[in-house]
Amino acid sequence: MLQRYTNLLLFGGERRSGATAPPKVWRRLFHISAGSSIPIVGIFLAHDWMIAAMVVVAGGGLAIDLARFNFGWLNRHYMRWLAPLLKSDESAHITGATYMVVAGLLLFLLYGKDVAVPAMFFLSLGDPAAAVAGSRLRGPRFRGKSPGGTLAFVGVGAATAAVLVAAGGIDHHWALWVGAVVAGLVELASIPPDDNFTIPILAGTAMYLMGA
């Protein structure tokens, strides 16, 4: 079971193919609020305290997923109680929320606030913007996603970076704008194991390597 869990965590496992229904509004709102709470807290909390908090939250998410994979009754209750916030295929996969907090932990631990904060905001705000715009725009699709949604993602990400810099939440660096573009392209490509992990991690790594 532990090996299967590790494979799911690292590679995501096989997801349902084909078109899926648009995310429910509660899931989208949860994605925005929960995802944004990580960088907001990270702006004001001391670095060591932020790392400690993220270790607890990420560890809790991983432990819950491991427990429900071991106990079918727990998994059934979990999926029923949190049905408005979960995708149906998450009954057999690590949840997006767990991937999100693990990504947040790694970003703050490896790259610091000036990279972690914008990278997590790119995910929490840009991803829903891409979903809303992509579902309403006609035209070509790439792996079921609209390039128009990608443009919306990049636009929201760039605007978010500008607001953060203007408000003094992070220092300005040209790599922020490149990070927004990288995040949008990763969302379009849907790189495994999960967008909630790969979008902030790859965008954050790009910004860090460019000196942010």
* pLDDT profile of the chain (212 residues), mean per 10: 63 54 73 95 96 98 95 94 87 93 98 97 96 81 83 97 95 95 95 95 98 86
**How many of the other CB atoms lie within 10 Å of CB of 163?**
11
Does residue 172 lie within any of the structural domains? yes
Q: For residue 92, give its domain range.
A: 23-209
pTM: 0.88
Query: Can you give the pLDDT at residue 140?
Result: 77
Query: Can you give the pLDDT at residue 7?
Result: 65
How far apart are the C-alpha atoms of 94 and 13, rounded to whole Å?
9
Question: Alpha-carbon Rg of the chain, whole angstroms?
Answer: 17
> Which residues is 145 bridged to in the sheet?
142
51, with CB counted inside 10 A (0-12, 13-18, 19+), is middle
Q: Render the burial of 57-72: b for 16+ CB within 10 Å, e for the rest.
A: bbeebbeebbebbeee
Q: Which two tokens stand for residue 201?
A: 């991690």
How far apart are the C-alpha atoms of 183 and 119, rounded to whole Å?
8
Query: Can you give the pLDDT at residue 134?
Result: 84
Task: Give the 3-state secondary structure of residue 142.
Answer: strand
Query: Can you give the pLDDT at residue 81?
Result: 93
Report how far apart, in Å, the C-alpha atoms of 15 and of each of 12, 89, 92, 177 are. 8, 7, 9, 31
How far apart are the C-alpha atoms of 80 and 135, rounded to whole Å?
27
Does residue 1 lie within any of the structural domains? no
Does residue 130 lie within any of the structural domains? yes
Single-letter residue type at 24: K
Does residue 14 lie within any of the structural domains? no
Query: Can you give the pLDDT at residue 61?
Result: 96
Does residue 15 lie within any of the structural domains? no
Number of domains in the chain: 1
Side-chain half-sphere CA neighbours of 105 within 13 A: 17
Query: Can you give the pLDDT at residue 20?
Result: 46
Does residue 8 lie within any of the structural domains? no
> Which residues is 142 bridged to in the sheet?
145
Single-letter residue type at 148: G
Does residue 174 lie within any of the structural domains? yes
Query: Can you give the pLDDT at residue 112?
Result: 97
How far apart are the C-alpha atoms of 98 and 65, rounded to whole Å?
8
Query: Can you give the pLDDT at residue 57?
Result: 97
